[in-house]
Amino acid sequence: MSDEEIKPGNEKALSPNQSLSEAIKDKIFNKIYFYILVSFLLINWQEILILFKSNEDIFYTLSIIFTSQMWFDYMLPAWFAHFGLPILFGTLASALTPFVTYWISKVTAKRFAKIRRADRKADLEVEDEFQDLRIKLVTKTNKADNLLNRINLLEMQNATMSKKNTQPQEHRRQLFFGIKAFVDYYETKGELKTPEGEITTAANE
């Protein structure tokens, strides 16, 4: 691989091997300290716990816990056992993490894709159900509006017919009271005068 610095925006030109190499470099040089710290805590957790809980002098306690250790039937020096192993394991973990991540992604990608597809399918089905409910609601609303408009039209027609029926009734009422006035006058006076001056009396009848 060329030593030329890769500028931002050139990632698309990298081959898969180059991308993997860049990922490994990023893990080693940027995040290696995190892995080393975690490895140090995992390897020396017992010594750290003793150091914090001990009531003795700190240097005395360190002299007790800072000893050589057996690893797979090999006696490791104190410095390598407590500091070399965390650096070694942290570096390996930092370098191997991209491969582990890639392998996990490769194994689980199809399953997650199926889950996403199932979620999408469920979303579409729910959306279709809501769409059907909206269509039914709009249909019922339109029917209710049409029924209300028909009721209003019938009320207007009824009001018009009632008004038309009221006019003949008023005319008949006026005619009735007009005739009744003549009858009352005739019964009271006993006679009626016509426009020609003729007099109609009860005796003439």
pLDDT digits (tens, 9 = 90+) for 146-205: 888 888 888 888 877 777 666 666 666 666 666 666 666 666 665 555 555 554 554 444
Question: 9-27, pLDDT tens digit by residue?
Answer: 444 555 666 777 776 666 5
* Locus of tokens 């370098």: 95
Question: What pLDDT is stored for residue 22 in this prediction?
Answer: 73
Question: What pLDDT is stored for residue 172 in this prediction?
Answer: 66
pLDDT band at 5 (very low <50, low <70, confident <90, very high): very low
Would you kindly state where each structural domain of the chain is located, as residue ranges?
13-111
pLDDT band at 8 (very low <50, low <70, confident <90, very high): very low
Question: Is there a contact between 22 and 7 (Cβ–Cβ < 8 Å)?
Answer: no
Least confident of 51-55, 69-73, 89-93: 69-73
Alpha-carbon distance of 194 to 55, in angstroms, equals 144
Question: What pLDDT is stored for residue 93 in this prediction?
Answer: 86
Question: Is there a contact between 51 and 58 (Cβ–Cβ < 8 Å)?
Answer: yes
Structure tokens at 69: 């250790």
**Cβ-proximal residues to 140 (8 Å cutoff; 6+ apart), any chain:** none
Give the CA angle between residues 102, 104, 107 to the nearest 5°.
Answer: 105
Question: Is there a contact between 86 and 43 (Cβ–Cβ < 8 Å)?
Answer: yes
Question: What pLDDT is stored for residue 103 in this prediction?
Answer: 86
